[in-house]
Structure 1
Amino acid sequence: MHIIHYNLTTTSKVGGVESFVWELAQQQVRLGHRVTIVGGQGPIQRPNQGLRVLKFPFIDRSRLAWGPLRRAYAWRKLAERLSLLPRAWPILKTADLVHIHKPYDLVVAPLLKRHGIPTVYHGHGEDFFRGDDQLIQSAAALLSCSSYNAQTLQQHYGRTASVVYNGVDLEHFRPLAAEPTLRQAIAGDAQCLLMHPGRMMPWKGQRDAITALSLLDHTYHLAFLGDGETHQALANYAQQLGIAERVHFLGTIAHSELPRYLACADLVLGTSYTSETFGMALAEAQACGRPVIASSWRGYDDVVQAGSTGERFIAQDPADLARVISQLCHDSAYREQLACAGRQRVQQLFPWSAVAERVEVVYEGLRL
């Protein structure tokens, strides 16, 4: 079967959804499918075997911030996606099945349906827009990355989605010994090094992590792995609080290097308070044998169970986050217990081979 994964940002940005597309596509090649990734013209290219990757020009949403679209962020994202479609359309028509990962691409579902090509929509978030509830009717099947997201899709679309958890590359994300020189380069002589992987977006809660750090003494340091639109604002905030020397902005770390960096962390944080639907970065940290702390936001529920595979704090409550950090940093045995349980759960539920098998079951149900 010829499967096309159609997602503009797979080849132009780094993120959880983008990683999902790369990994699932590679697994599907191993299952014997012919797989093509169709994305936007961009710098992202991962090593792959037997996988075709096609990139096409598009109009970046930042160039559309004028006139009535200036404040209409959702419509700008839709326009960005639509700008890719004319060049991608001839390729999409060659597929046996098109797998999309953002609601903005639902516009292809009715078009492909006319050609007898099923569209599978895979929900990874809550980025809806007016009219998507009509477009979804042309999708042959709905998948969801978590139980929380499946509930969200049910409420919004009135259709049941099959839960297919995000996956983790267990060969790549594995426990490594911390490198003293790397840890020293990141945070000097910090006694407790906190790490926060992920894009810098307002809803990701990085500001809360910085506030929590300000409530802890000088032996605690915080390192951000990633970049994004709030980077400068976060740096300014750390400076304002007088803790800039304890907050380290490491920028986007290459996928190949992430396990080395995670190995240096005493704790890995997930502080989102909306939109997060799984917590891929935390699952990867767990696979590396690191203890994790997640906010009470429900999107983390499949990955972090309080007192079992990690700890939780009240979302948008920096004081509660500081309390949990202090508790864990003073109890190495408990940290190790959480880390072991977290890794076991990842090994059981989130290997990419299991993800691909769950998707395959959905495909087979379409009787292609």
Structure 2
Amino acid sequence: MHIIHYNLTTTSKVGGVESFVWELAQQQVRLGHRVTIVGGNGSIKRPMHGLRVMTFPFIARERLAWGPLRRAYAWRKLAERLSLLPRAWPILKTADLVHIHKPYDLVVAPLLKRHGIPTVYHGHGEDFFRGDVQLMNSAAALLSCSSYNAQTLQQHYGRTATVVYNGVDLEHFRPLEPELRLRHAIAGDAKWLLVQPGRMMPWKGQRDAITALSLLDEQYHLAFLGDGETRQELADYAQSLGIADRIHLLGTIAHSELPRYLACADLVLGTSYTSETFGMALAEAQACGKAVVASSWRGYDDVVQAGSTGERFKAQDPADLARVIAQLCADDGYREQLAQAGRQRVQQLFPWSAIAERVEAVYQNIEHRT
């Protein structure tokens, strides 16, 4: 089967959805499929024998921020995607199946359907726009990255989604001995190092993590692995609380280096209070044998079960987060118990080979129906 993964940002940005496309595509090549990734012009590449990558020019959403589109972010993203389609269309028509990962690409579903080519939509988030429900009627199958996201898609589209979790590269994300030199470079002689991976966005809750740190004593330090639009705001906030010396903004860490940094952590935090649909960064930390703490936001539910594979705190409640952090750091045995259980769950549910098999079953069901 010739599978095309059609997603503009796979080759132009770094993120969870983009990593998902690369990893799934590589697994599908190993299963014997002919696989092509079609994306926008960019510098992101993950070479693999047998995987074809094709990129085309597009108009970035930032360039569309004028006139009536200035405040219409969803329509700008749709326009960005549409700008790629004319050049990509001749390639899309060569597929046996097209797998899309953003609702803005649903416009291809009715077009491909006319050519007898099924479209599979894989929901990873909660981006919707006017008219997407009608476009979804032309999709052959609906997948979702988590139980929570499946419920959201059911409510919006009126269709049942097959849950296919995000995957974790268990060869890459594995327990490592902490490098004392690296840990010291990050946080000096701090007794406890909390680590929070992820983009710096308002809804990611990094501000709550900083507030929680201010409620703990000077033995606790917090390192952010990532960058984004709120970085300076977070730095200023830490300064205003008088704890700038205990907050470490490390910027974007290369994917290849992440396990080394996670190995230095005593706890790994996830503080999102909306939009988070899975919690990939926490699953990767669990694969590295680290205890994790997640907010009560439902998007984390498939990854972190309170008292079993991690601990939870009330979302947007820094005092409760501080309480949970202090509790776990005071109990080495419990912290290790959570870490081991988390790693076992990741090994059982989230290896990429298992993810590819679930997707394969959906593809085969489409073939049987047609």
Between the aligned partners of 1:48 and 1:261, the Cα distance in structure 2 is 26
Deviation at 1:217, TM superposition (A): 1.1
Deviations along 1:338-359, one digit per CA (max 9) or x if unpaired, are 0000000000000000000000
Aligned to 2:319, the other structure's residue is in SS state helix
Residue 98 of structure 1 corresponds to 98
Residue 328 of structure 2 corresponds to 328
Deviations along 1:266-315, one digit per CA (max 9) or x if unpaired, are 00001111111110010000000000000000010000000000000000
Residue 73 of structure 2 corresponds to 73
Aligned to 1:138, the other structure's residue is in SS state coil
Amino acid at match of 1:243: I
Superposition TM-score, scaled by structure 2 size: 0.98
Between the aligned partners of 1:275 and 1:53, the Cα distance in structure 2 is 29
Residue 15 of structure 1 corresponds to 15
Aligned to 1:175, the other structure's residue is in SS state coil
Between the aligned partners of 1:283 and 1:203, the Cα distance in structure 2 is 19
Superposition TM-score, scaled by structure 1 size: 0.99
Residue 148 of structure 2 corresponds to 148
Residue 298 of structure 1 corresponds to 298
Deviations along 1:47-90, one digit per CA (max 9) or x if unpaired, are 42311111111111111111111111111111111111111111
Greater mean deviation of Cα atoms: 60-69 or 177-186: 60-69
Deviation at 1:190, TM superposition (A): 1.2
Q: CA RMSD in A?
A: 0.9
Residue 58 of structure 2 corresponds to 58
Between the aligned partners of 1:278 and 1:43, the Cα distance in structure 2 is 26
- Superposition pairs of residues 1-368 of structure 1, within 5 angstroms: 1-367=1-367
Q: What percentage of residue pairs aligned between the two structures are identical?
A: 87
Between the aligned partners of 1:209 and 1:55, the Cα distance in structure 2 is 39
Deviation at 1:121, TM superposition (A): 0.2
- C-alpha spacing 1:93/1:134, structure 2 compared with 1 (3 Å): same
Is there any run of 5+ residues in structure 1 with no aligned partner, and where? none
Deviations along 1:88-135, one digit per CA (max 9) or x if unpaired, are 111111111000001011011111111111000000010111110010
Between the aligned partners of 1:346 and 1:326, the Cα distance in structure 2 is 25
Between the aligned partners of 1:355 and 1:127, the Cα distance in structure 2 is 23
Deviations along 1:200-247, one digit per CA (max 9) or x if unpaired, are 111111111111111111111111111111111111111121111111
Between the aligned partners of 2:335 and 2:187, the Cα distance in structure 1 is 20
Between the aligned partners of 1:251 and 1:54, the Cα distance in structure 2 is 29
Aligned to 2:221, the other structure's residue is in SS state strand
Between the aligned partners of 1:336 and 1:104, the Cα distance in structure 2 is 43
Amino acid at match of 1:36: T
Amino acid at match of 1:166: N
Amino acid at match of 1:328: L
Aligned to 1:94, the other structure's residue is in SS state coil
Between the aligned partners of 1:264 and 1:50, the Cα distance in structure 2 is 36
Greater mean deviation of Cα atoms: 81-90 or 299-308: 81-90
Aligned to 1:55, the other structure's residue is in SS state strand
Q: How many residues align?
A: 368
Greater mean deviation of Cα atoms: 122-131 or 240-249: 240-249
Between the aligned partners of 1:54 and 1:188, the Cα distance in structure 2 is 45
Aligned to 1:228, the other structure's residue is in SS state coil
Between the aligned partners of 1:236 and 1:4, the Cα distance in structure 2 is 44
Aligned to 1:23, the other structure's residue is in SS state helix
